[in-house]
Structure 1
Amino acid sequence: MPLVVLTALSFASAAPAAVLRGEPTDYRQLVQTLQPGDILRLQAGVYRYGLAAHNLNGLAGRRITIEGPARGDSALFLAHRGRNTISIKNASYITIRNLVLDGQKLGADGVKAEGTSRYAHHITIENLKISNHDANQQIVGISTKCPAWSWVVRGNVIDGAGTGMYFGDSDGSAPFIGGVIEGNVVRNTIGYNIEIKQQKPRKELAGMPRQPQVTILRHNAFSKAAGGATGGLARPNVLLGYQPQKGAGRFDRYLVYGNFFYQNPTEALFQATGRAAIYNNAFVNTAGVGRAIMIMPHKGVAPKSIDIFHNTVLASDIGIAVWNANRRFQQVAEANAIFASTPTTGRMQRRANITAPLGKASDYLRAPQAPLGRLDLSPRPEQLRGQRLASTLRDDPAADRDFYNTLRHKRFVGAFVYYGAGVSRPLSLRHRSVR
């Protein structure tokens, strides 16, 4: 018998929200009963039949929440061949959190907004642990294949997947709009850690934003240090496709800040086109291909407005490349600390960057050759002093802060400020606070 607790709302005409307790034996029936404001708390145990969030619609301010235990034993969902473990279809204003998903190396995605869905919007996917979704490169940890907007993907760990996150469809017909992807750790993927697909002109849907939107990637850790595909199947850690070329979305942007991109022996760390600002990130790609930031055409569309500033880049080959961009727009690389064989290449405006060969990085940085857990890219005393950013770059969120959200009270080039004598801020592949 499920436990039901009623929660009074501030207006008498609305039905009270319910807090329900679900177990492996009855949770599927309870999911079908959920109404706006309801919370379904799944108890610790093994769940073998997936979670179908179909035709579930909360309201703004009255979300439907499905959650496992925040601590202690977990609510563990085991994959089933041919069926996506968490399936989302025609759903909105839903939060799914605190679950463990074991793909068991079967042909099933972890979380998927299905391609047969008309929409999936205002969805939050939070604090999931997703593993063993790496039967092949096509298996995805978190995916949207329908029009999706106002998603928040926060604090998840994806360890072992064909592709970590895949938003959109290969033909550009399933736009991913105005999302926030923050505080996640994605590692050991065969293909991309994250790909956001290119978008063709959108078909208007009720509630879909028409004003310019921003999709944010912040405070994540992305690693393809091992296990990535090679040859023609090799993929960057992160690829951001272009926005619509006309109509709604043509002025949308990506903001990519405060992320740690770590190693990819077979491809670049980051590739983008369209409109993007990339700042306050740490890039380390010192083995194999050795490329960091690649701004280049994708699917026949050239990059447009690109701002690259206050990044620290270590690369055995290319630090920052801007190739064949649309010259009617501005592409800027400013106040970056770049240690690479070729620090920058291509046509861009270069301003106040500090560059040196990779082998000289230790002259400027505390511990650039150390392993994870001791890797420290903050400046040595009196190194990487810079100048004030151009005014056009100062308005982006957190542009006045560094990788660790420390206020830039002094002017430093790169992602990090000087933290003081004897103060170490090592990098690792773990959660970072985004609050």
Structure 2
Amino acid sequence: MPIPKANPSPTKRMRIRTPCTFLVFLLALLLAAPAAADRVRTADPDNYRQILNRLQPGDTLQLAAGIYRDGLSLHSLQGTPDRPITITGPENGGTALFLGREGRITISLIDVSHITLRHLSLDGEGKRGHGIVAEGRGRFTHDVTLENLEITRFDADQAFNAISTKAPAWNWVIRDNVISHVGTGLYLGDSDGSAPFVAGFIEGNRIEHTTGYNMQIKHQAPRPDLAGLPTTPRETVIRNNVFDKSLGGSDGPMARPNLLLGHWPLEGPGKDDRYLVYGNLFFQNLTERLFQAEGNVIAYNNLFVNLFGEAVSFQAHNDQPRRIWFVNNTALGLGPALRLSGADERFEQIIDGNAIFAERPEESALPGENLITSLPRAEEVLTNPFAAVPDALDLSPVGGSLDRAAAGIRLPPDLPATDQDYRGKPRGQAMYGAVAR
């Protein structure tokens, strides 16, 4: 008779299960443990530099009000998508003021990601230096947010910038900043096209009284093979900004538009990217046009007022205008208010629903259904078109003066705010221009 196998004793059973039970228990503890708490660290002009390199994902560095004379070097500092690193000055009650330095960059960015800078003031004091620069000796900067900054007096020369990127940059947000009296406001990308600025979001800024551009995004050469740099079609959004050169700027060969947009890569990743330009005010330029662009651009619900020269020109710069949509804008210009020339005919160019007031309206004749009339007539059909300052401008129509018989070409359905006017009000009656009645 075979002898049956004995069951393990209770002690043996416990020994067999104990390691597994312990591991399960340990894993449960780890999963239940809260993530490392985000820290708020405080600093002042005397000690802030010692803290910078110790910042970790999720940290906020709260800078006290005061004068910071030694700049801000953010190098190899990386947050995460869920836990960015934030450096902020006081939201109320005093200012964290960074002073410019001769021959130096005030805030230097090298190989940083998921970084937010807010509530800081930068004053160049007329010295030969820059404001914020993503330096070309770095490999990248991405997911950088600059908001609620005040940047002024980096104006020793047109070549000095408030904000500039000289390394590949993507997923930047530049929002609600006031930039004034600088050489160039935003200079995004490098002059040879080698530092692409991709998938940017530029919103709610007031950029005024610059010597050169209020803003330029440089043309792009073929993009480098760089981890994280987008390879599928993206958009750079430019919305709800004020671009103002009413106090003048350089003249002759150094004169610059308020905004210039260069082309995307001609082949490979990025060739189908596009600019979305909507809800902006472009105000005066004593020596150049307001807006110049090439490549793929969709512009709608914008206001353009230039009583000293051209308003808008789509023309070749480093390549050609390609896919162009210019719809439901209001443009006033001395000379042609709107020009389209040298476009690549393999691509679609649509000009429709615009209210164009020009000194020589015949030179603004374009395909599509637009209201094109003389510049003096603007005073009859618009509420306050010749205001001396942008805040007093009112390009809303008098009565039904800009009504049209039927709705025009509809913008692509994937675009934001196409059913609204410049002010964000719903569009009702079909009409020309950017502002509904």
Q: TM-score, normalising length from structure 1?
A: 0.91
Cα offset for 1:308?
Answer: 0.4
Letter in 2 for 1:131: T
Cα offset for 1:101?
Answer: 0.3
Among candidates 307, 327, 332, match of residue 350 of structure 2: 332
Listed as ranges, the matches of 1:51-130 within 5 Å are 51-130=72-151
Query: Are the aligned partners of 1:394 and 1:400 in contact in 2 as well (CA < 8 Å)?
Result: no
* Residues 85 and 344 of structure 1: CA distance in aligned 2, closer, same or farther (over 3 Å): farther
Higher helix share: 2
1:367 alignment partner in structure 2: 384
Q: Say whether residues 1:45 and 2:66 are aligned partners.
A: yes
Among candidates 207, 214, 221, match of residue 235 of structure 2: 214
> 1:18, 1:98 → 2: CA distance?
18
1:7 alignment partner in structure 2: none
Listed as ranges, the matches of 1:235-274 within 5 Å are 235-274=256-295
> 1:78, 1:106 → 2: CA distance?
9
Cα offset for 1:332?
Answer: 1.4
Note the alpha carbon deviations across 1:75-130, whole angstroms, 9 max, x for none. Answer: 00001112211110000000001001000111211111001110000000001101
> 2:334, 2:113 → 1: CA distance?
45
> 2:241, 2:201 → 1: CA distance?
11
Listed as ranges, the matches of 1:172-187 within 5 Å are 172-187=193-208
Among candidates 305, 310, 317, match of residue 323 of structure 2: 305
1:194 alignment partner in structure 2: 215
* Residues 11 and 163 of structure 1: CA distance in aligned 2, closer, same or farther (over 3 Å): farther
Query: Are the aligned partners of 2:71 and 2:99 in contact in 1 as well (CA < 8 Å)?
Result: yes
Q: Percent of aligned pairs with the same residue?
A: 46
Listed as ranges, the matches of 1:21-36 within 5 Å are 21-36=42-57
Among candidates 394, 410, 420, match of residue 429 of structure 2: 410
Cα offset for 1:390?
Answer: 1.7
Among candidates 155, 159, 165, match of residue 180 of structure 2: 159
Letter in 2 for 1:136: D
Query: Are the aligned partners of 1:222 and 1:262 in contact in 2 as well (CA < 8 Å)?
Result: yes
Letter in 2 for 1:294: S
Note the alpha carbon deviations across 1:292-333, whole angstroms, 9 max, x for none. Answer: 11100012x111000001111111111110011001111111
Unmatched 5+ stretches in structure 1? 1-9, 419-435
Cα offset for 1:347?
Answer: 8.6
> 1:11, 1:100 → 2: CA distance?
42
> 1:233, 1:282 → 2: CA distance?
25
Q: Say whether residues 1:295 and 2:333 are aligned partners.
A: no
Note the alpha carbon deviations across 1:230-273, whole angstroms, 9 max, x for none. Answer: 00000000000000001100000000000000000110000000
Letter in 2 for 1:354: L
Other structure's SS at 2:213 match: coil
Letter in 2 for 1:407: P
Cα offset for 1:363?
Answer: 1.8
Cα offset for 1:349?
Answer: 2.9
Other structure's SS at 1:28 match: helix
> 2:138, 2:121 → 1: CA distance?
24
* Residues 72 and 346 of structure 1: CA distance in aligned 2, closer, same or farther (over 3 Å): same
Other structure's SS at 2:285 match: coil
Other structure's SS at 1:359 match: coil
- Which stretch shows the higher mean deviation, 11-20 or 374-383? 11-20
> When the two structures are aligned, how many residues end up with a matched partner?
406
Other structure's SS at 2:380 match: helix
Listed as ranges, the matches of 1:136-147 within 5 Å are 136-147=157-168
Q: TM-score, normalising length from structure 2?
A: 0.90
Cα offset for 1:12?
Answer: 3.4
Note the alpha carbon deviations across 1:142-195, whole angstroms, 9 max, x for none. Answer: 000000000000011111111000000000000000000110011111100000
Among candidates 339, 342, 359, match of residue 321 of structure 1: 339
- Which stretch shows the higher mean deviation, 109-118 or 384-393? 384-393
> 2:33, 2:75 → 1: CA distance?
28
Other structure's SS at 1:29 match: helix
* Residues 343 and 60 of structure 1: CA distance in aligned 2, closer, same or farther (over 3 Å): farther
Q: Say whether residues 1:400 and 2:414 are aligned partners.
A: no
